[in-house]
Amino acid sequence: MKSIYRILALLVITTTVSCNKDLHETPIGIITEGVAPTHSSVIYSVTSSYQLLSSTLNIIGSWGWDDGTVLRNDFVLQDIASGDMQKKWNPDGDQAWMDQFSDFSFTASNAGINGQWSYDFDGIARANTAISYLTDAALTTKLAFDEPTRKYLLGQVYFLRAFYYFDLVNLYGDVPLLLTPLKSFADAYNVAKSETKANVYIQISKDLDEAKSLIPDGKYSSATEKWRVSKGAVLALQAKVALYNQKWAEVISTVTAIEALNYYSLNANYFDNFSVAKEFADNEVIFAYDHETLTTPRSGNGLCALAGWGFIAPTTNFISAFEANDPRLGYTVDVASQNVYKIFGTLNSDNKGNDDAPSNKIYIRWADVMLWKAEALNETGSYSAAVALINSVRQRARLSITATGTYPPAGTLPDRNVASTDKAQIKDWLVKERRVELGFESQRFNDLKRWTLAKTFLTGLGKNFQDKNYLYPVPQGEIDKSGGSIKQNNGY
């Protein structure tokens, strides 16, 4: 999707499938508007709404490097921009637009700026189509949807729409707010205007409240398709929304509510979060995209393919952020062999260069959530409780067997002083812990921005970060096609 107007092109067709009633079936064709949706096509409209979260190659194009649509660009806009990652182990001119996020020389015409916008709005378009079907009582009655199934499907797409919009407002600020499928070019012109970030957040919260009331209880909402949105995922995203808006009491109460479910805990070994062998059998992962190998159409992890071409390398500053003997460094990236194990999902190079790798994309896991609560506790003066959570994450790391099969030596990652009442010191501990715990998981740049540390940290690395870079520019093509009703962010 290159623009709001391409959303229209996508939405004047109705996806349909020829399959049984299983929720996981994939489409084998499309038909034009005017052909009534089927039971299968309604189900697929939900399943397809997940696809824009994937790192699979060519979901919305065919080798569209020039418009940033070969795969989802979180690793560029988050990890490269944050100073944790560099494009390649051996720098070259390949895909130079990625390098522009390293030195903040990008413009509103950069491919990555367009690509992420495209993925998120395509996901929203698909979710809107599914919502329109599932809120049509006459249609769902005609297609014989039982009420629990209808609610379950609807809850998923409310969550997904909120997820895509949460990404958009944190990247771009004010964005168009699309809540229904577009049926005409008049509709497209009407919605092609910027809505305030505050109003988009109101809609995000509304969608998550709807999802929470519709998704069934349980660690997994489906026993057979554990990748689908769960009640824990909805609550976790609500906590994250509160965190990003500095609603500290709400963060604490929401995470406490998740704890009460007793669904999640830290895995004994750090790498269990990422291991292909442990997928949906671990204790910690709350929401992930389920990459699978040998499916039709393909749904593997395309980031592994890029690694085979020399992409995805750590910066020296990222490596130096790890304390001595921290096992998390070796699990994230093996510098000597140039293997990014956290992305491969294995402790070898078997998936390096594999464009159909089965390693999942992790979006939310329990350690991340624990550190949100630690941050909120610190901000509200509960210092010892905040430090205790940070220490829990450190303890799991130091007790993890290393990538080479040994245990860290005594004294590795000692506890932070739980008696500290120095808010600034505890915040510094938290900032450092999040970087190494969540490295290469596309969290760091948003963290730096919401802490207002981005300019200080990145200019300290010699980056040309400016105040305007707290938001990315809106893709210039979107502004041009809207006739200026979509507004550009200041400074671009």
CA atoms within 13 A on the CB side of 484: 0
Tokens for 406, please give them. Answer: 């040994």
| Helix or strand holding residue 153 (H, E) | helix 147-172
pLDDT for residue 28 is more than 50? no
pLDDT for residue 267 is more than 70? yes
Is residue 216 within 8 A of residue 206, CB to CB? The reply is no
Q: Domains of the chain (ranges plus CATH)? A: 220-450 (1.25.40.390)
Give 395-435 pLDDT, tens digit per residue.
Answer: 999 999 999 999 999 999 999 999 999 999 999 999 999 99
pTM: 0.94
Name the CA radius of gyration of the chain, rounded: 22
pLDDT the model gives residue 185 = 75
CA atoms within 13 A on the CB side of 387: 18
Give 125-174 pLDDT, tens digit per residue.
Answer: 999 999 999 999 999 999 999 999 999 999 999 999 999 999 999 999 99
Give 33-92 pLDDT, tens digit per residue.
Answer: 557 899 999 999 999 999 999 999 999 989 999 999 999 999 999 999 999 999 999 999
Q: How many residues does the chain have?
A: 492
Is residue 434 within 8 A of residue 442, CB to CB? The reply is no
